Structure 1
Amino acid sequence: MSATTAENIRITDLANPVLTEMQKGALAFAAANPTTLTPEAVLAAAQAQTGLSDFGPGDFRERLAVWMRAGDNDAELSAVGRGSLFSEAVRLASNRLQLEDTVRRHPEILDIPIERPLILAGLPRSGTTYTLQLMSADPRLRSLPHWEAVRPIAAPWIKDGHDSRHDLCAAEWAQTDAIMPYIKMIHEFSPDHISEDIELQGLDFGGYYFEWIAHVPEWRDYQFAYDATPILRYVRKAMQVLSWQKGPNRWVSKCPQHMEQLPAVRGAFPDSYVVINHRDPVASIQSAITGIAYGARLTRTRVDMRGIAQYWIDRYERLLRACVRDRDLIDASQSYDLYFHELMADPFGQLERVYAGAQVPFDQQTRDAFQQAIDHNKRGKHGQLVYNLREDFGIEPAAIRERFQFYYDRFPDVRIEVK
């Protein structure tokens, strides 16, 4: 249910969802087809699906085991949530098998340089997606459209000379949109939408993607105990394969989790140019947890509004503290702090500064490409959700802001949006 004013949409049943018939059907189907969350089941399914057996370096197996154990221990993960977790793990394992098979047959792939990539970090809902959409319009830069992110290896999907991946992704997006129509206002997953490199981290069973599906503090804590550099080196390997399939080999990519991975980003991509997006964390949080609460009508057995807020406020604090701690490890000549309000006011001016720092020419062709992307990616093109921390989550914005004062102190140009 929602209340609508012009293009503004307020979801009024977050805590007590009123399910559509399609949502009820999805829950019923999942309940009738229960899922076993074990690493053995995931790997066996991937092998059966692809006909391949070589997963490459085996260090990922420990991470996969933690994924599955943490998900299995989530007592309020619904049948849909368990099914989603399993199917995503099988997809990633299948993609890994195909990637390793491609490298085995074409070892020259590992000689392809990934030249001076532009890597974006920043909180979820802080303008990273908008920045990436614009920069991906530059044909000199390689990016990862969603249709390619979910099926990165082309060969298995080419039938009679036609690459079926875009068509499959479009059908999947249409189904998602039909079941959860407000998702596109939160995070679009249409085929041509540019994806995060969290998809590539997932090939090595790393990254915080899993945290958006299930309540898995065990996985969160496991990540903090280990260096993410090897996982990001696997991302580089995936980029080599993707550039071999279709160039160029200078990448632009992003992931909000890079805020807590800055040393690992430098370790895996020492010649990268890092752009860190900054936005009022309260604005980012209210958007993110509203989206999580909306999705919970399918993935959770109950919607715990306070629990969602508590977990993600803590998670944001970890991201922000790591960013404050590590920001100065990246030289000013190889990085740029991009503020949300400045990006929205003057996208051309901000991106010209980014390009200057990254030593990429910014000419009229670049401007024209960006203008087309701006016209195509207008904020609120699907409608705009209305957020209310006080009414929906019982939280005062000032309380969050006080908790994050260390971030405002370090980046005083961040403009307060939610009061």
Structure 2
Amino acid sequence: MNARRAPRQGRSGDEGGGDARAECLDADGLRAEAVRLTGLADFGAPGHGPALDLLVSALETEARLSPAGRAEARDTLLRALRTRLWLHALPVPPVEQEPPVVLVGLPRTGSTLLHRLLALHPALRAPRLWELLAPVTPPGAGAGSLLAAAERHVADLARTAPDLARVHPTGADEPEECEHLMNTDFRNSVLGLLSYRIPAYASWLAAQDLTAAYTLHRAQLAHILARRPAPADSRLVLKSPSHLWHLPDLDSVHAGARFVVLERDLEDAIGSVCGLVSAARRKRSDAVDPVEIGRDMAAATHTGLSRMYAFTTDPSVADRCLTVSFTDLVAGPEATARRVLSWLGLTADGALRRLWREHLSRNPRPDHVHPRAACGLPPAGSQPSPHRSEGAS
């Protein structure tokens, strides 16, 4: 649809700045700023409004944000609002999208390793971080400036949250999680459960229908593919822990998607998730409670796995799912990647295997401490897992 024009002030690439970055978050103020920066005023369907309002309220009242955390949250929300405005000002590119391959599972189940190996195959296209941060090209911007902005984003992460950068290495031109695209409808489980302490928003989101969010997710992927086309007949390969809790909604929009289901021993996974969440929240808050994280992550992971297995074992979906064991993946990443490719009807030639070996040599698996005791969790192995453990089919 055509967007209504608003009076234009400043440049479309500005993020605001000045004293405004330290002010309290305000949904109406963020909307007004996005309108000012883009010169556009059509945010599309009003359904995003309650989500944004609740998210902003929870960030202000529950997240215990540090000044740096508040500035980051403001930039994240403003980027999402600007992207939403541009999406509704431009037609969705008529790009043919084959059903994607989606890696699903809890965080810390090896998805980054497998995602990056699969993305080296010429028939599989993984969105890069710079593409996900700016899925629609802003007026006057080019790929070079967008890549440079993503490089600054990565450098800032390494400087302000070295523990987080170590356990989840990323790069501006590396495959990354498509959860960034969920921000545009303000329904993102990574924000609600992992990045911030916002239980009111997380509880609300768990019961929401995310069809509209995934419709925008698909539209943003179309813009990404139009800007940097993929080879004919190739598939997108996507991954994000945000999908775990909402797979039926994803599948309704990305019809025919194929799912690689990553499994890990549940206690190990929860311990590792707690380490990741602790690092992520310390980047944004000076008041992080590890015991609260342990309790909340144990509950969230159980809910997520229950939903995932209810979806992936449904007879209408099961033949589009392949289970991958974390132990097998870590012990034999190349063999595991070949198994996934074979399931997709693809092969791994000598050139691809050389790329894999080069990637693995440059990117050794980082050490990661599981802070079970600090997070109030019982020692690993002290209780049976209520869900299938790794290796289950």
TM above 0.5, yes or no, is: yes
**Is the contact made by 1:125 and 1:287 (CA closer than 8 Å) also made in structure 2?**
yes
Question: Aligned pair 1:192/2:176, yes or no?
Answer: no
Residue of structure 1 equivalent to 2:212: 230
C-alpha deviation, 1:43, in angstroms: 1.2
One of 75, 79, 100 as aligned partner of 1:117:
100
- Inter-partner Cα distance in structure 1 for 2:381 and 2:353: 41
The runs of at least 4 consecutive aligned structure 1 residues that moved more than 6 Å come to 29-32
C-alpha deviation, 1:312, in angstroms: 1.3
Pairs within 5 Å for 1:301-316: 301-316=286-301
CA 1:360–1:261 in 2, change beyond 3 Å: closer, same or farther? farther
CA 1:317–1:141 in 2, change beyond 3 Å: closer, same or farther? same
Question: Aligned pair 1:360/2:350, yes or no?
Answer: no
C-alpha deviation, 1:99, in angstroms: 2.8
Pairs within 5 Å for 1:320-335: 320-329=305-314, 331-335=317-321
**Is the contact made by 1:276 and 1:338 (CA closer than 8 Å) also made in structure 2?**
yes
C-alpha deviation, 1:349, in angstroms: 2.3
C-alpha deviation, 1:32, in angstroms: 9.5
Aligned-pair identity (%): 23
- Inter-partner Cα distance in structure 2 for 1:276 and 1:385: 22
CA 1:331–1:394 in 2, change beyond 3 Å: closer, same or farther? closer
CA 1:304–1:157 in 2, change beyond 3 Å: closer, same or farther? farther
- Inter-partner Cα distance in structure 2 for 1:101 and 1:266: 26
Residue of structure 2 equivalent to 1:374: 360
CA 1:314–1:94 in 2, change beyond 3 Å: closer, same or farther? same
Residue of structure 1 equivalent to 2:71: 83
C-alpha deviation, 1:155, in angstroms: 4.5
- Inter-partner Cα distance in structure 1 for 2:329 and 2:267: 18
Residue of structure 1 equivalent to 2:3: none
Residue of structure 2 equivalent to 1:21: none
Pairs within 5 Å for 1:14-413: 34-74=22-62, 76-103=64-91, 109=93, 111-156=94-139, 158=141, 163-211=144-192, 212-248=194-230, 250-329=235-314, 331-380=317-366, 384-390=367-373, 392-398=374-380, 401-402=383-384, 405-408=385-388, 411=389, 413=391
C-alpha deviation, 1:47, in angstroms: 1.7
Bigger CA drift: 245-254 or 51-60?
A: 51-60
CA 1:358–1:332 in 2, change beyond 3 Å: closer, same or farther? farther
The one-letter amino acid of 1:370's match is W
C-alpha deviation, 1:175, in angstroms: 2.7
C-alpha deviation, 1:102, in angstroms: 3.2
CA 1:125–1:68 in 2, change beyond 3 Å: closer, same or farther? same
The one-letter amino acid of 1:170's match is E
- Inter-partner Cα distance in structure 2 for 1:377 and 1:96: 35
- Inter-partner Cα distance in structure 2 for 1:55 and 1:316: 33
Bigger CA drift: 312-321 or 71-80?
A: 71-80
Bigger CA drift: 285-294 or 37-46?
A: 285-294
Q: Secondary structure at the match of 2:176?
A: coil
CA 1:348–1:386 in 2, change beyond 3 Å: closer, same or farther? same
Larger relative contact order (Cα-Cα within 8 Å, sequence gap ≥ 6) = 1
Q: Secondary structure at the match of 1:333?
A: helix
**Is the contact made by 1:137 and 1:370 (CA closer than 8 Å) also made in structure 2?**
yes
The one-letter amino acid of 1:324's match is Y
CA 1:364–1:313 in 2, change beyond 3 Å: closer, same or farther? same
The one-letter amino acid of 1:87's match is D
C-alpha deviation, 1:295, in angstroms: 4.1
For these two proteins, the number of residue pairs brought into alignment is 372
Residue of structure 2 equivalent to 1:14: none
C-alpha deviation, 1:119, in angstroms: 0.7
CA 1:33–1:87 in 2, change beyond 3 Å: closer, same or farther? closer
C-alpha deviation, 1:75, in angstroms: 6.2
Q: CA RMSD in A?
A: 2.6
C-alpha deviation, 1:414, in angstroms: 5.6
Residue deviations 1:277-330, cap 9 Å, x none?
111222222222223323444522422121121111111111111123222125
- Inter-partner Cα distance in structure 2 for 1:180 and 1:126: 21
CA 1:332–1:358 in 2, change beyond 3 Å: closer, same or farther? farther
- Inter-partner Cα distance in structure 1 for 2:237 and 2:63: 38
C-alpha deviation, 1:60, in angstroms: 1.4
**Is the contact made by 1:30 and 1:83 (CA closer than 8 Å) also made in structure 2?**
no
- Inter-partner Cα distance in structure 2 for 1:296 and 1:355: 36
C-alpha deviation, 1:354, in angstroms: 1.6
C-alpha deviation, 1:407, in angstroms: 0.8
- Inter-partner Cα distance in structure 1 for 2:382 and 2:141: 50
Question: Could you tell me the TM-score, scaled by structure 1's length?
Answer: 0.81
C-alpha deviation, 1:127, in angstroms: 0.4
**Is the contact made by 1:117 and 1:250 (CA closer than 8 Å) also made in structure 2?**
yes
CA 1:95–1:137 in 2, change beyond 3 Å: closer, same or farther? same
C-alpha deviation, 1:331, in angstroms: 3.3
**Is the contact made by 1:31 and 1:80 (CA closer than 8 Å) also made in structure 2?**
no
Q: Secondary structure at the match of 2:256?
A: coil
C-alpha deviation, 1:401, in angstroms: 4.7
The one-letter amino acid of 1:167's match is A
**Is the contact made by 2:274 and 2:375 (CA closer than 8 Å) also made in structure 1?**
no
- Inter-partner Cα distance in structure 1 for 2:55 and 2:284: 16
